[in-house]
Structure 1
Amino acid sequence: MTRQQILSFALLLWNLFVFLVYGLDKGKAQKGQYRIPEKVLLGMALALGGLGAGFAGYFFHHKTRKWYFKLTWLLGIGLVLGCFYMIWRY
Structure 2
Amino acid sequence: MMLLTIYLIIINIIGFLLMGIDKRKARKQKWRIAESRIWLVAIIGGAFGATAGMNYFRHKTKHTSFRILLPLLTLVDIGLLIWYFYFLS
Structure 1 runs (4+) deviating above 6 angstroms are none
Alignment of 1:62-77 (within 5 A): 62-77=59-74
Unaligned runs of 5+ in 2: none
The whole-number CA distance in structure 2 between the counterparts of 1:42 and 1:6 is 22
- Judge conservation of contact 1:7–1:87 (CA < 8 Å) in 2: no
Alignment of 1:1-90 (within 5 A): 4-89=1-86, 90=89
Distance of aligned partners of 1:6 and 1:87 in 2 relative to their CA distance in 1, 3 Å threshold:
farther
- Residue 6 of structure 1 and its aligned partner are, at CA, apart by 2.7
Unaligned runs of 5+ in 1: none
Q: Provide the aligned C-alpha RMSD in A.
A: 1.5
